[in-house]
Structure 1
Amino acid sequence: MSQETNPPASGARVPWQRVHPPVRAAVEEFLGGRVVEAETQPGGFSPAAAVRLRTDNGGRAFVKAVGPEPNADAVRLYQAELKIAAALPESVPAPRLLTGFELEGWVTLVFEDVEGEHPELPWRRDQLDRVLTAVKGMSAALTPAPIDASPIGKVFGSSFNGWRMLLDEETDGLDPWALRHLGELAELESGWAEAAAGDTLVHADLRADNILLNGERVYVVDWPWACLGAPWVDQVMMLPSIGMQGGPPPHELCTDPGAEVTSVVAAVTGYFVRHGRLPDPPGLPTVRAFQRAQGVVALDWLKRRTGWA
């Protein structure tokens, strides 16, 4: 399998030594000791530090920190995550936020250091079944949402207008089926926000690199996109990455024939297909390849769901 077909979910992480010195000092002050070990965690795309720290007094923490360069959008994303993480109740299967702060343009989140490993890739069926069961249970436990959050339609907004945007953009290299049905896909996608609406707190960005397995426990990390949606949204949005990373294809894991699901699948597919055609964002050299690979899987799923020739 080629690198483009199955690209890694990792980007250009910032080592702890390159984090803004006042930020490092503030973290050490909070932890009450000098950092003697900093292990960068590679999963994820943001051009930020993501490190497991150990201090000289035995303290441990997982720290995420991002500055305004090279991508200011990452700062806004971390600000959103700080707000969500601070509000998540202990019932949510996520690492506990110990503290968070903004300092001289940097946003920093300090979490408890949870022991665990990402699911093995290609996906093992036993681990996949554990994760899907945990996601279903999490969705049930977060209905109704225990915290205030924005509706999914507001959070993702025009990002899920991919097919509609492609109506007015260059389409060289677009899949022939998608090009043939572009107008229909734009129409199908247009109702996604209403289809995905609900009162469940959804993570909205589930992938293997946002999941940790610890014994029988499943932890879900990285919540900046958390929003209100239908209880099935997390599973549906996760399935293209599962299929791309060696798991079963989406149509085998989601047999719901509902028009609402198809509308959301259309929007997710349009997002991956269109964004995969865009230039790399500043500081995120790997995300487009990951989106393109998910788009291939999602498009096959969409073809099956629509039944269009």
Structure 2
Amino acid sequence: MATKYVPSSAQGAPPARLQERVQELLGQPVVDWRRPDTGLSPALRYLVTLADRSLAFVKAATSLETTGWLRNEHAAMQYVPQFAPATLAWSDSGGDHPLLICEALTGHWPASHAGVVWRPGDLDRVMDALQRLAAIDPPAHLETRQPEATFGWSRIREQPGAFLALGLCSGSWLDAHGTALLQAEESLRRDGSTFVHGDMRSDNICLTGTGPRFVDWSRAGAGAAGTDLASFLPATHLEGGPPPFELAPDAFTWGAAQAAELIARLSDGDELPPWLRRVLRRLAAINLDWAVAGMHLPRRDGPSWAEM
């Protein structure tokens, strides 16, 4: 399986064969190759400047796994062009891995190497776009997103040691409210037939003059209508936005389910780098607080996410 969690800054120079293919497909020389500011993927990713001074974004598969991701991404982008960058070239033949070249979006990217900046009205525009995206019927050729099977809160209650070691709450708080969290998780329908981006977060969003555009469609497919919003809101709160409960008070069951998934990753993920463990722990706390607020439970008796 391909290695995940590869930051753009860790990429080296583009392979010679990739340089040849990009110039052949675009019909002009590339005068500069730059790594993107953000992003995590085992696929190769570059922002290129062409001889005519125009820009393009290059994404190349590197393995069987990333080949599937890139094919899915290309198919999704063609189906919802109003929400995606325009495709400039696509190569998926011969002995090479697939290669996608698309326009380099211009506008406000909330996330960059300097941090995350949401301007007034940005979140409203993104949430409106997510609602419109979820109203689209997905094409049959895109995969149906299957929720990952986890033991969730049932496992946490039966084997609480790893969870309690995270310091999110005390054992007495878990004993008192674990059943309510389990019931909220079990009540959530994770399947569905609406169009789902599948990796909605700030560094995959560009606010252009004609509306939000989303990048990295490798996990797009059919799924539950609330999937993108549910993954977007906790990360946005981490970056300075409002708590998820303020924007989606009735979607608190997503908070319970996502908290359990994050806790499972933290409990089983010894290979996670320290910075990612910290992010996931804080996101687990944010999702848990969302569920707690929605069910009107007493607040956690552990530290706030900002103190972690």
Q: TM-score range by the shorter chain?
A: 0.7 to 0.9
For 2:151 and 2:214, locate their aligned partners in 1 and report how far apart those are by CA, in whole Å: 27
* 2:287 is the alignment partner of 1:298: yes
* 2:266 is the alignment partner of 1:272: no
* 2:33 is the alignment partner of 1:38: yes
Gaps of 5+ in 2: 299-308
For 1:124 and 1:288, locate their aligned partners in 2 and report how far apart those are by CA, in whole Å: 28
Query: Alpha carbons of 1:107 and 1:293: their partners in 2 closer, same or farther (altered >3 Å)?
Result: farther
May I ask how many residue pairs the two structures share in their alignment? 281
AA in 1 matched with 2:181: L
AA in 2 matched with 1:273: I
Tell me what 2:133 maps to. 138
Tell me what 1:250 maps to. 244
| Structure-1-length-normalised TM-score | 0.77
Out of 165, 173, 185, the position equivalent to 1:189 is 185
Tell me what 2:104 maps to. 113
Of the structure 1 ranges 47-56 and 97-106, higher mean CA displacement relative to structure 2 is found in 97-106
Q: Give the CA deviation at 1:265.
A: 2.5
Does structure 1 retain, via aligned residues, the 8 Å contact 2:259–2:284? yes
Tell me what 2:162 maps to. 170
Task: Kindly provide the CA deviation profile for residues 9-31 of structure 1, in whole angstroms up to 9, marking residues without a partner as x.
Answer: 993544461x3322222122112
Tell me what 1:6 maps to. none
Query: Alpha carbons of 1:270 and 1:84: their partners in 2 closer, same or farther (altered >3 Å)?
Result: same
Does structure 2 retain, via aligned residues, the 8 Å contact 1:163–1:186? yes
Of the structure 1 ranges 165-174 and 120-129, higher mean CA displacement relative to structure 2 is found in 165-174
Q: Give the CA deviation at 1:253.
A: 0.3
Query: Alpha carbons of 1:187 and 1:247: their partners in 2 closer, same or farther (altered >3 Å)?
Result: same
The 5-angstrom pairing of residues 75-94 of structure 1 reads: 76-77=65-66, 79-87=68-76, 88-94=78-84
Task: Kindly provide the CA deviation profile for residues 94-141 of structure 1, in whole angstroms up to 9, marking residues without a partner as x.
Answer: 01332143787855322122223312624333111111122222222x
Query: Alpha carbons of 1:54 and 1:165: their partners in 2 closer, same or farther (altered >3 Å)?
Result: farther
AA in 1 matched with 2:104: D
AA in 2 matched with 1:163: W
* 2:95 is the alignment partner of 1:95: no
Tell me what 2:303 maps to. none
Task: Kindly provide the CA deviation profile for residues 255-303 of structure 1, in whole angstroms up to 9, marking residues without a partner as x.
Answer: 32xxxx343322212122332442345xx77443332222221111111
* 2:222 is the alignment partner of 1:233: no
AA in 2 matched with 1:148: H
AA in 1 matched with 2:166: G
The 5-angstrom pairing of residues 50-69 of structure 1 reads: 50-58=45-53, 60-68=55-63
For 1:55 and 1:32, locate their aligned partners in 2 and report how far apart those are by CA, in whole Å: 10
Out of 237, 253, 262, the position equivalent to 1:263 is 253
Give SS of 2:162's match. coil
- Higher RCO (CA-CA < 8 Å; seq separation 6+): 1
Q: Give the CA deviation at 1:182.
A: 4.2
Query: Alpha carbons of 1:53 and 1:12: their partners in 2 closer, same or farther (altered >3 Å)?
Result: closer
Out of 119, 129, 137, the position equivalent to 1:124 is 119
Q: Between Structure 1 and Structure 2, whose CA radius of gyration is higher?
A: 2
Give SS of 2:79's match. coil
Query: Alpha carbons of 1:123 and 1:279: their partners in 2 closer, same or farther (altered >3 Å)?
Result: farther
Tell me what 1:23 maps to. 18
AA in 2 matched with 1:173: L
Of the structure 1 ranges 208-217 and 117-126, higher mean CA displacement relative to structure 2 is found in 117-126
Of the structure 1 ranges 92-101 and 293-302, higher mean CA displacement relative to structure 2 is found in 92-101
AA in 1 matched with 2:197: H
AA in 2 matched with 1:196: R
Out of 3, 8, 11, the position equivalent to 2:7 is 11
Query: Alpha carbons of 1:173 and 1:197: their partners in 2 closer, same or farther (altered >3 Å)?
Result: closer
Gaps of 5+ in 1: 1-8, 69-74
RMSD: 3.0
